[in-house]
């Protein structure tokens, strides 16, 4: 919002300007906000329902079990390389905090398909299935280096991922603004789980711009918990999984995770090589301290 628009709006309220002018300025101010919780009509319907629900609960003497943090809730992101322990930590912290607050736990790395992208995902799935039937797998084994491991997704797949992540976070942004604590497993950054399309042609350049715009519209977390462990331990953990990732992929993701940073977020690095109970207790303390300071 420009300083002039703010001053004009303040003067209009102070001097009780005409209704038409105040409405016009209000519309201009509203355009300045990228993240809107709800539309005007939807917000009015929801507000009426909440008043009615609160009235009924009061008459029935129903007590709220969850506590909310107002204003704005808390967005906590767990990030790190593969097999660093971030997924387990995020789930356990969410389950613990849910006993005390209104909490939502989401996976931003693998979000559900949005209705806008689902038809394209279905077509891609059909194409992949037909391709597997028609093309015989090669018997020769080739080694995959780190660069190849990270460049496997097609630009269209990367673009669809950016839409699904944007919509998944946006769906919970309304809950966040109503005081909910949103805890995520993975979160887009410039170095990892963010823009991946390289513009080498007019089409890929266009998709790259769309992808970057989608990621820029995702809000920054309030608190980032970065899980870290040495590479050898990370590889050992990955090998013990039911469906382990290729080693080249794990190595590549490990190198990317070193550079994860968020300009407008508080970030704390956690050593996950400690006893798990010790690590969990430390993360709980950090999240609780941030929660009560909201």
Residue 22: domain span: 9-60
User: Quick one: pLDDT at residue 51?
Assistant: 73
156 phi/psi in degrees, rounded to 5:
-65, -40
**Number of Cβ atoms within 10 Å of the Cβ of 72:** 13
Residue 3: inside a domain, yes or no?
no
pTM, two decimals, is 0.72
Residue 262: inside a domain, yes or no?
yes
Residue 151 has pLDDT above 90, yes or no: no
Tell me, yes or no, whether 56 and 171 share the same domain. no
Evaluate whether 283 touches 270 at the Cβ level (below 8 Å).
Answer: yes
The confidence band for 177, taking pLDDT boundaries of 50, 70 and 90, is: confident
Greater pLDDT, 36 or 157: 157
Residue 65 has pLDDT above 50, yes or no: no
Q: How far apart are CA 85 and CA 279, in angstroms?
A: 10
Residue 141 has pLDDT above 60, yes or no: no
Q: How far apart are CA 72 and CA 179, in angstroms?
A: 5
Residue 140: inside a domain, yes or no?
no
Helix residue ranges per DSSP H, 37-135: 40-60, 86-97, 118-134
Tell me, yes or no, whether 213 and 274 share the same domain. yes
* DSSP state letter for 117: T
Tell me, yes or no, whether 101 and 17 share the same domain. no
The confidence band for 269, taking pLDDT boundaries of 50, 70 and 90, is: very high
Residue 92 has pLDDT above 60, yes or no: yes
Residue 147 has pLDDT above 50, yes or no: no
Q: How far apart are CA 181 and CA 294, in angstroms?
A: 11
Tell me, yes or no, whether 254 and 164 share the same domain. yes
Evaluate whether 165 touches 214 at the Cβ level (below 8 Å).
Answer: yes
Residue 120: inside a domain, yes or no?
yes
Number of independent structural domains in the chain: 2
pLDDT digits (tens, 9 = 90+) for 29-53: 877 766 555 566 776 777 777 677 7
Tell me, yes or no, whether 20 and 165 share the same domain. no
User: Quick one: pLDDT at residue 28?
Assistant: 85
Tell me, yes or no, whether 53 and 86 share the same domain. no
CA angle 215, 146, 233 (to 5 degrees): 95
Helix (H, G, I), strand (E, B) or coil at 18: coil
Tell me, yes or no, whether 39 and 126 share the same domain. no
Tell me, yes or no, whether 225 and 288 share the same domain. yes
How far, CA to CA in Å, does 207 sit from each of 136, 180, 188, 195, 210?
31, 33, 17, 10, 5
CA angle 168, 171, 174 (to 5 degrees): 145
Tell me, yes or no, whether 149 and 212 share the same domain. yes
- Which tokens is 33 given? 């906000």
51 phi/psi in degrees, rounded to 5:
-65, -45
**Order of strands across the sheet with 74-80?**
103-107, 181-185, 74-80, 223-228, 266-271
Residue 106: inside a domain, yes or no?
yes
Tell me, yes or no, whether 49 and 78 share the same domain. no
Q: What is the CATH number of the domain that holds 218?
A: 3.40.50.300
DSSP 274-287: S-HHHHHHHHHHHH
Beta bridge partners of 162: none
Tell me, yes or no, whether 101 and 203 share the same domain. yes
Mean pLDDT, range 69-79, rounded to an integer: 80
């Amino acid at each position: 919002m420009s300083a002039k628009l703010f001053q004009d709006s303040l003067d209009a309220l102070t001097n009780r300007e005409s209704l038409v002018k105040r409405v016009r300025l209000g519309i201009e101010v509203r355009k300045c906000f990228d993240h809107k919780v709800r539309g005007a009509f939807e917000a009015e319907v929801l507000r009426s329902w909440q008043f009615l629900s609160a009235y009924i609960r009061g008459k029935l003497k129903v007590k709220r079990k969850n506590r909310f943090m107002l204003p704005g809730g808390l967005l906590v992101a767990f990030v790190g390389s593969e097999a660093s322990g971030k997924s387990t930590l995020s789930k356990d912290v969410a389950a613990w905090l849910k006993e005390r607050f209104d909490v939502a736990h989401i996976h931003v790395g693998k979000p559900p398909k949005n209705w806008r992208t689902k038809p394209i995902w279905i077509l891609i799935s059909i194409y992949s299935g037909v391709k597997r039937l028609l093309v015989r797998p090669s018997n020769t084994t080739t080694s995959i280096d780190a660069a190849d491991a990270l460049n496997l997704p097609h630009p269209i797949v990367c673009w669809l991922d950016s839409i699904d992540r944007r919509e998944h976070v946006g769906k919970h942004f309304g809950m966040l603004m109503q005081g909910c604590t949103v805890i995520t497993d993975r979160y887009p950054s410039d170095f990892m789980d963010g823009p991946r399309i390289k513009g080498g042609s007019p089409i890929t350049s266009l998709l790259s711009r769309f992808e970057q715009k989608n990621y820029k519209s995702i809000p920054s977390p309030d608190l980032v918990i970065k899980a870290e462990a040495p590479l050898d331990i990370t590889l050992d953990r990955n090998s013990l999984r039911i469906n382990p990732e290729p080693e080249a992929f794990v190595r590549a993701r490990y190198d990317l995770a070193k550079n994860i940073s968020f300009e407008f977020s508080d970030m704390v690095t956690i050593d996950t090589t400690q006893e798990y109970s010790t690590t969990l207790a430390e993360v709980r303390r950090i999240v609780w301290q941030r929660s009560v300071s909201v």
